[in-house]
Amino acid sequence: MDGILQIIKNTYFGKLFQKDKLIFFVAFMFFSLSLLANLIKLETSPFFVWNMYSERYYPRKDYDIIEIRYNGNEVLNFKHTWQSPQQAFLTEPLYNYLNAYRKKGEDPAREYLMHHWAVKHPEFRSLANRLYNTPADYNAFPAWYKRYLSEVKGMAVYNVTIMKKKLAFNEDGGVKCLSTDTLLLIP
């Protein structure tokens, strides 16, 4: 029995119990409740959400992807490396821009901010006007995008072409291109 007590005294919780009983109690309760929540599969957001990645992907006949080409025919291709933040900065603002472009320069977030969020939080209504992009912001996007792409690639970028491709899988698992549409040209 003394051996077990000595082992427990040398653990993190054992040392914490000896130093500060209040912090031990808080940390031990947090650990215990988190363990219990995991055992009964209770979502304890923001710490753990069981079904975060559990939605099934059903096979489809075709898939849409966006392809970015620059300086004529160079395809922007990121390997799975430390460049993930650059990839996110090159794709997420582009998706937002393309979405707004389809809506004639209207930021998709504006509808939500002005008609839902500002209604629930009227004291912050004046702040909502500064949280979405304006048509002037979208007009400045192509030049910014080309500059940022130049910075990421470490070379001058003279033009950018954004294409939407519709792809499908062959019976043997290969990929075939069904169609290609040019969505945006940045000279």
Amino acid 47: pLDDT: 61
Q: What is the C-alpha separation between 157 and 146, in angstroms, rounded?
A: 6
Amino acid 64: pLDDT: 92
Q: Which of 153, 148, 58 is nearest to 94 (CA)?
A: 148
Amino acid 38: pLDDT: 76
Cβ–Cβ < 8 Å for 138, 98: no
Amino acid 160: pLDDT: 95
Q: What is the C-alpha separation between 118 and 124, in angstroms, rounded?
A: 7
Does the N-terminal peptide bond of residue 135 adopt cis geometry, omega within 30 degrees of 0? no
Q: What is the DSSP letter of 128?
A: H
Amino acid 186: pLDDT: 92
Helix ranges, the chain (H): 2-9, 12-19, 21-39, 84-102, 108-112, 118-120, 125-128, 135-153
Does the N-terminal peptide bond of residue 122 adopt cis geometry, omega within 30 degrees of 0? no
Query: Block means of pLDDT (10 residues each) for the chain, length 187 residues?
Result: 79 88 91 83 66 75 92 85 78 89 80 81 78 84 93 92 94 91 92
Q: Per the structure block, which two tokens stand in for 132?
A: 């979405």
Q: Domains of the chain: which residue ranges?
A: 1-55, 63-186
